[in-house]
Structure 1
Amino acid sequence: MVQELVIAIVAAASVGTLYLAAAAKVVKQYERGVVLRLGRLRDDVRGPGFTMVIPGIERLRKVNMQIVTMPVPAQDGITRDNVTVRVDAVIYFKVVDAASAVIQVEDYRFAVSQMAQTSLRSIIGKSDLDDLLSNREKLNQGLELMIDSPAVGWGVQIDRVEIKDVSLPETMKRSMARQAEADRERRARVINADAELQASKKLAEAAAQMSAQPAALQLRLLQTVVAVAAEKNSTLVLPFPVELLRFLERAQQPAQQQLTPPPQSAQPQRPTQPQRHAQPPRPADRPQRPAQAQRPAQTQPRPQQPSAVGPAPMPAPPPPAAVPARPSRPKPLAKH
């Protein structure tokens, strides 16, 4: 009798231990427990800690309430401007209603993943290539709204959606590189043209200032020569400015007018031969015939034109004073 009682107690203890093992549940801090009694949802959602369920009658499903990071597989699509691209993204979401996540959808993770892929394809077709490359914030917000609308009924909240990478074909990359290069070249030409315009205005002002003082141009030329000669790696050919030549010409003209003798006849006069049977000149007629009384004038050399760059030539010496010629004696007539 006692032995049978001991066996019964041991059997009851074993059954109680198995019952407690099956009924005892532990819910973690980041989880919530949804209890289904005979397939029907209980109103109370079990919080974190130790809890008990009726084995065989109640069933406990634990739902993770943490933020889930899920990558969206890369999707191939055609943009609104007919460019083929490949875009991948990442989505951050969490469960806010554990009962809805268990009852309303079979697998909320798979559902959110498929909805993200579909929304990503849709957003690619509605956007231009420039928007995908430069205006991603706006696309991220639009993609988040498209995924969050059906996910609200599943007890899931979409925290953030980010487009990670946009892959372009090689031909499109080369085209964009040429476009960027052409745009940079255009901006460089515009900048150079603007610089030339400003420089021309400054040069015009400088020319207006130098025109008032001709010596300023010569000083500027000398400054340029000094700047070029400092390198000592090139041959310098120094031109003379036209203003300098004009200045020298104007400086030499008054000196020429003062030193140049009056012009004489181009051809020297030949001495006249005394004619035979000519009467000796009378003293009264000598002043009236200067051509016979003077020696032949020597031909004066034509004054040289002053060089453009050399010093002014020395003035020619004055011609010697004319000496009156002696009257020739008449020869006696031949006797016949």
Structure 2
Amino acid sequence: MVLGLTFSIVLALMILAASLKVVQEYERGVVFRLGRCVGARGPGLIILIPWIEKMRKIDLRVITMDVPTQEVITRDNVTVKVNAVVYFRVVNPVDTAIKVYDFIKATSQLSQTTLRSVLGQSELDELLANREEINHRLQRIIDEGTEPWGIKVSMVEVKDVELPPTMQRAMAAQAEAERERRAKIIHADGEYQAAEKLSEAAKILAQQPTTLQLRYLQTLREIAADNNSTVVFPLPIDLLSPFLETLKAKTEKEPS
């Protein structure tokens, strides 16, 4: 009698353990009845028909997946190594359970092939400058590929682009040459503006010759303010004109 009662209690506990399942808030339980999917249940306490219904739990939280480094040849024939990160989550647990065997591995493989394909169609300058546009393109293509599996790809980010050492040196030389070009243009523009101002100043001084002498005196004052022992006195060219004419006349009279 006691043995039969013990057996009944053990059998009841086994049936209870097989029929009661707890699904967390971030999970959904896909129920199969004799191999046939009858839908997703949860969260909370789920009652199953023992040995007839089985349940597979699917996590609905966002999964962060690193895409391994891929060696890619860009459209302008530059070999680069690129890695990325993909953020995705399950939005339809039934499709994830019955349409793909391992959705994480499948998404990883699709991400790798898409990364090589998209970057192979892009040039190096586009990869370095338009990173945001490439990220959106990768996200759209991978999301379209995983949609039948009940997966939503929310974001794809290219993390690192590794360039060959020769390409790094070439890009550094190009950047240096570009900066030198800009510096020369700025210097030339400054010289042009200075020439314009000097031309305007010459016109003003030509209208009032006395201002030139005042400018000479101001220059002397600036030199004296520096405690300089050298004294510079400007000599107008007009004072030397008679001497130059006399010297020219003597030169012309001398026999060759």
Is the CA contact (8 Å cut-off) linking 2:30 and 2:94 kept in structure 1? yes
Task: Work out the CA distance in 2 between the residues paired with 1:245 and 1:14.
Answer: 130
Is the CA contact (8 Å cut-off) linking 1:92 and 1:159 kept in structure 2? yes
Assess, with a 3 A threshold, how the Cα gap between structure 1 residues 180 and 62 changes in structure 2: closer, same or farther: same
Offset, 1:113: 0.7
Query: Matches of residues 1-336 of structure 1 in structure 2 within 5 Å?
Result: 4=1, 6-42=2-38, 44-232=39-227, 236=230, 238=232, 240-243=234-237, 245=239
CA RMSD of aligned residues (A): 1.9
1:94-120: CA deviation from partner (whole Å, max 9, x where unpaired): 111001001000010001111111111
Is the CA contact (8 Å cut-off) linking 1:218 and 1:244 kept in structure 2? no
Higher relative contact order (CA 8 A, sep 6+): 2
Comparing 210-219 with 12-21, greater Cα deviation is found at 210-219
Runs of 4+ with >6 A deviation: none
Task: Specify every segment of 5 or more residues in structure 2 that has no aligned partner in the other structure, as ranges.
Answer: 243-256
Task: Work out the CA distance in 1 between the residues paired with 2:118 and 2:219.
Answer: 64
1:41-77: CA deviation from partner (whole Å, max 9, x where unpaired): 11x3111001122333221100011111111111111
Assess, with a 3 A threshold, how the Cα gap between structure 1 residues 53 and 180 changes in structure 2: closer, same or farther: same
Q: Give the AA of the match of 2:84.
A: A
Task: Work out the CA distance in 2 between the residues paired with 1:90 and 1:164.
Answer: 7
Assess, with a 3 A threshold, how the Cα gap between structure 1 residues 126 and 219 changes in structure 2: closer, same or farther: same
Assess, with a 3 A threshold, how the Cα gap between structure 1 residues 194 and 48 changes in structure 2: closer, same or farther: same
Matched residue SS, 2:67: strand
Matched residue SS, 1:157: strand
Question: Which structure has the highest strand share of the two?
Answer: 2
Offset, 1:22: 2.3
Is the CA contact (8 Å cut-off) linking 2:71 and 2:81 kept in structure 1? yes
Is the CA contact (8 Å cut-off) linking 1:148 and 1:158 kept in structure 2? yes
Question: Which structure has the highest helix share of the two?
Answer: 2
1:77-132: CA deviation from partner (whole Å, max 9, x where unpaired): 11111111111111111111001001000010001111111111011111111111
Larger Rg: 1
- Aligned residues between the structures: 242
Q: Give the AA of the match of 1:70.
A: M
Task: Work out the CA distance in 1 between the residues paired with 2:149 and 2:158.
Answer: 24
Offset, 1:172: 1.1
Task: Work out the CA distance in 1 between the residues paired with 2:231 and 2:112.
Answer: 74
Task: Work out the CA distance in 1 between the residues paired with 2:33 and 2:12.
Answer: 21
Assess, with a 3 A threshold, how the Cα gap between structure 1 residues 222 and 26 changes in structure 2: closer, same or farther: same
Task: Work out the CA distance in 1 between the residues paired with 2:73 and 2:235.
Answer: 68
Comparing 105-114 with 15-24, greater Cα deviation is found at 15-24
TM-score (norm 2): 0.88
Assess, with a 3 A threshold, how the Cα gap between structure 1 residues 223 and 99 changes in structure 2: closer, same or farther: same
Offset, 1:148: 1.1
Task: Work out the CA distance in 2 between the residues paired with 1:199 and 1:147.
Answer: 59
Q: Give the AA of the match of 1:17.
A: L
Is the CA contact (8 Å cut-off) linking 2:220 and 2:233 kept in structure 1? no
Offset, 1:221: 2.6
